[in-house]
Each structure stands twice: as C-alpha cells, then as structure tokens.
Structure 1
Amino acid sequence: MRFTTSSLSLFFFILGASASPLITGDVVTDEERILGGTKATEGEFPYIVSITTNGEHICGGFIYNQRFIVTTASCVLNLVPFDVTIVVGQVSLIFNDQYERRYQVVSIIPHENYDPVLGVNNLAVIETSSSIAFTPGHVEYIYYNEDNMTVGATIMGWGTTQEEGLPSVDLLKANVTISTDCVVYGSEEYQPNYMICAGSPTASPCHYDDGSPLVQGNIVVGVAARNTGCGANFLPTLYTRLSSYYAWLNRNAGLQPPMSG
C-alpha cells in the first residue's frame, strides 16, 4: 500500500479542508491553493527522482550513486523491474524539462526485514539498467548522514495536496522540524534508532511521496515512510533514518562516490 495512512508524500499546505483543487486530466493544476508551500526551481534538488510505472508517478526517491536509487520498501513491494522507470532531472510531471532523462530498472531490492505493519526497515534500493549521467547542478547524487536536531529540514516531491487527490504537476517543497516528540505513534511504531520524526503545525505529507528525501542542506537524512494521513490534522511523519542502514546500503548498492577535496 503506497502513500496511504501508512506512507507519505510531500508537505503541502492546504488552504482549508473544504478547498477543492481544480483538476485537468489526471493531475492537479497550479491552482490547487497551496498555502505556504512553494514550487521548487529547476536544479534546486538535482538528486530527486520520480519513480514511475506505466508512465505514472507513484513515489519519490533520491540518487545514491550512478546506478542506484534509494526509496522505501513500501513504494516498490510487488513491482516488476521491467515495469518501472526512474526519471531524473525533472521538475514538471507534464512538460519535458531540459535535463530530464529516463532510466529503465533492472532490479529492485527491498529490505529483507521490512515490516509493513510496524513500518520498521522501510527501505529499498533500485538499480538502473545503465549509469545515470550526472550534470552538475541539474542531475547529481547526494550524500546521506545523521540528522542534526539543531537545524530545520526540507521535504520535496510531487505528492497530492489533499487526501485521496492526484499528484501535483510541479515539484513542491516545504520546511519541517525534526523532533523526538512523536506520541501520536506507539513505541513499537516509532523506533528512534531507525526512524526520524518530523512535522509542521501547518503542513502534512500525503499520497505519492513515499520515498521522497528529507534533507538538511546538502545532506539527506531520511526518506518519507509513514504517517497517519494527510487531512486537516497535521501530525508528524516518520522517515527511515538512513544513517542506521550504512552496512545495508553498502552491501546492496555499493559505496557512494568519494568526496572531493
């Protein structure tokens, strides 16, 4: 199950519970009345990817190295690699962006101990059939590390702007705060050694952003993994804590490119 009450999407700000987004075809238009959220600019998040099946966006991820994408297990369970395409360098879901490229998938590796009930070990890597061509400032990998509780974080993606809605046309972003106060989840669901809790009183992730990266500056610290829904009550979202999976990522996706300098 993807980006339902047990998964997540982007932090979009909704003008009101009764606001109805205007729909054109299969996507939400620019008039969805987002309050506080902003459009991302081309190249602002060069590591974000759209994971698609049959040409349709289903969730997000980030570029780990030239051959692997990191996302959540909840995004890719039961998907057949041949049916999955990774889109890099994308900002708009309906227009061809200048640096947009598509890569066929050859393998999907969800964490072998993923628990869909409790949400533990919600992590996966996706291998592309050919090496991703990096373009500085437009298509790049991002390093992962531990989160920093003293600074804010940013989430971005193409998620819907209302419960049960359709993906946003544009890549959107919003700021959230990392916290250890996650009482909305039980002690079994929120395991701080493996998860990050982050939220905002005026924002909530929704559908189609399962696997979207949570970043602090130029470091990714988590991937969107689980929340309690995206209605009027903006409750915290749980992210898979990437720093806890160093050995697993190395074993299944190899090392990241060495830091320069």
Structure 2
Amino acid sequence: MKHALHRILLLQLLTTLGLHALGSEIINGKKVPDNKMQFMASVQNNQNVHICGGFLINEVFVVTAAHCDRSNPTSVVLGTHNLKKVDEKMRYGVKRCKHPSYKKVEEGADIMLLKLSRKARQNKRIKPIPLPKAEIKFKNEQKCQVAGWGSTSDGKSVDELLMVVVPIVDLEACKRIWERRNFTLPENITCAGGYRTKNGFCEGDSGGPLVCNGRAAGVVSYNWNNNCQYPNMPNVYTDLPKYLPWIRKILKKNNC
C-alpha cells in the first residue's frame, strides 16, 4: 500500500509539472534498417511487455533510465528491431543497478545499468554501442539521433524500431526556456529536440540512447506536454559522459 501511494503521488507530481517520463514514442521517426542500431534493447516487464528502451554497452550490461525501475523491468530483448519477432533466445533476465543518487526523475541522475543473466554474443543483429571517452563538447544544433519503440504522435502503436534526427539545444538556453515554466533543470543533463523542430521523443521514450557521432551521448529522461505537438520545449536527456566513472566502476567489478 505504501509503495502504491508513493507511485500515485509521483504520477500526480509529474502531471502537475507537465513531465512525462514513461512510455516510448518517437515523433516523426523512420524505420531503422536491420543493419543499424544493433545495440538497441527493449526493456520489458514480467509479462514480456515493452516498458522502456535501453542500449547495450558491452556483452553484459544495458543502459536505461533509472525511472524505468518503477515499472519493474525483469528482462531485456536484444537482436531484433521488430517486437513481434521475438524468441526466447533474444530474452535476457536482468539485475538492476540504479544510480545511487537517483531519487526522482526531476532531480536527475536518471540512469540505470541492467546486468544480463548471460553474455550477449555479438553478431550481425547484436553489437554494443561505444561509450564516449570523455566529456562531449556539444555544438548548438549539432545533429544527433534518438530511437525507440511504441506509439506515434497519432496514438498508433508500432512494433518496429523508429529513429529520428534531433538537434542539440544549447544547455544554458535550455535551462532558461524551462525556467520560464517555473521548472529548474537538474545537473548533468543534455537537451536535444522538441524545440524549434517537430522531431523528438514522447512520454520519455524512456531509457533510449541519444547517439552523437556514433557514440552514446545521453539517456532519454523526460519531456514537457504529453500531446507531443512539437515544437514546444526541449527534450531532456541524462548526460551520459558525466556518469562514466560510475559506469566504469560497475563494468570493472562486473556487478553492482
């Protein structure tokens, strides 16, 4: 009962703030070819239903958003872009490694590692995405990509992985834009899409990667306004390079 009450209060708070961090919707996206983005992971619950996106960073770990934890992820699916074409060889049980600083989505540190129950062997369908080697100096309007599964802006559910190009929004400008709505963005975030463009994610496309120059640069965290009629407000991502020391520590221990 206590857990349920906390969940209700959190959902009420997100609604009040105009934040929507659940689900997975790519706006104005295109189908991803099978030979692209082989690192994408579908994070699923105990009913084998897609709840969040994620991305493979080595043969043992997938990155996703920490707020996906409340949807009780129990497995990930790798090696397919079509969620109607899943066999049990593609499914991996997971152990959750949520960032210790994460409390709620609007306070940041919205990142979680999922340790796979067995190694994911690389093949033409499965390939980890490289991590950045250090901090990324984004250029304003630099073109990056975001991908995910789920509904589109017309509310139709899709099973094919979709991808869209999103421009980076200058961080200081992004903060000022959000402050006009009386919302202070947390530390260690990146902004891209949703503002001055019709492209972006909706209801978070939670846990999916922001891909810049072929490397994982961010983790989909939240946006503003669940009707997703962009342009409106910049979309918010966890700045993945800021969490490289934590990620490397877990990868070195091979545990959390």
TM-score category (smaller protein): 0.7 to 0.9
Aligned alpha-carbon RMSD (Å): 2.8
Distance in 2 between residues matched to 1:255 and 1:176, nearest whole Å: 35
User: Could you list the per-position Cα deviations for residues 49-98 of structure 1 after superposition, in whole angstroms to 9, with x for gaps in the alignment?
Assistant: 0001111100101111111111110011362xxx611101111111348x
User: Could you list the per-position Cα deviations for residues 221-241 of structure 1 after superposition, in whole angstroms to 9, with x for gaps in the alignment?
Assistant: 001001113422432111001
The answer to which structure has the higher helix fraction is 2
SS at match of 2:68: helix
- Structure 1 residues 134, 199: CA separation in 2 closer, same or farther (over 3 Å shift)? same
Amino acid at match of 2:209: P
Give the CA deviation at 1:184: 3.4
User: Could you list the per-position Cα deviations for residues 135-158 of structure 1 after superposition, in whole angstroms to 9, with x for gaps in the alignment?
Assistant: 1x4211112224452431000010
- Structure 1 residues 67, 117: CA separation in 2 closer, same or farther (over 3 Å shift)? closer
Amino acid at match of 2:79: G
SS at match of 1:127: strand
SS at match of 1:77: helix
Q: Which residue of 1 aligns with 2:125?
A: 138
- Indicate conservation of the 8 Å contact 2:204/2:220, yes or no: no
User: Could you list the per-position Cα deviations for residues 33-61 of structure 1 after superposition, in whole angstroms to 9, with x for gaps in the alignment?
Assistant: xxxx2111112101110001111100101
Aligned equivalent of 1:226, options 222, 227, 234:
222
Aligned equivalent of 1:11, options 26, 35, 43:
26
- Structure 1 residues 177, 227: CA separation in 2 closer, same or farther (over 3 Å shift)? same
Q: Which residue of 2 aligns with 1:104?
A: 93
Amino acid at match of 1:206: C
User: Could you list the per-position Cα deviations for residues 100-128 of structure 1 after superposition, in whole angstroms to 9, with x for gaps in the alignment?
Assistant: 711112x1011111131523100100111
* 2:111 is the alignment partner of 1:120: no
Identity within the alignment, %: 26
Give the CA deviation at 1:253: 3.1
Paired residue total: 225
Aligned equivalent of 2:146, options 151, 155, 160:
155
Q: If the length of structure 1 is used for normalisation, what is the TM-score?
A: 0.76
- Indicate conservation of the 8 Å contact 1:211/1:224, yes or no: yes
Q: Which residue of 1 aligns with 2:207?
A: 211
- Indicate conservation of the 8 Å contact 1:160/1:207, yes or no: no
Amino acid at match of 1:190: L
- Indicate conservation of the 8 Å contact 1:205/1:230, yes or no: no
Q: If the length of structure 2 is used for normalisation, what is the TM-score?
A: 0.78
- Structure 1 residues 48, 242: CA separation in 2 closer, same or farther (over 3 Å shift)? same
Runs of at least 5 residues in structure 1 that lack an aligned partner in the other structure: 14-36, 257-261
- Indicate conservation of the 8 Å contact 1:87/1:101, yes or no: yes
Give the CA deviation at 1:166: 6.1
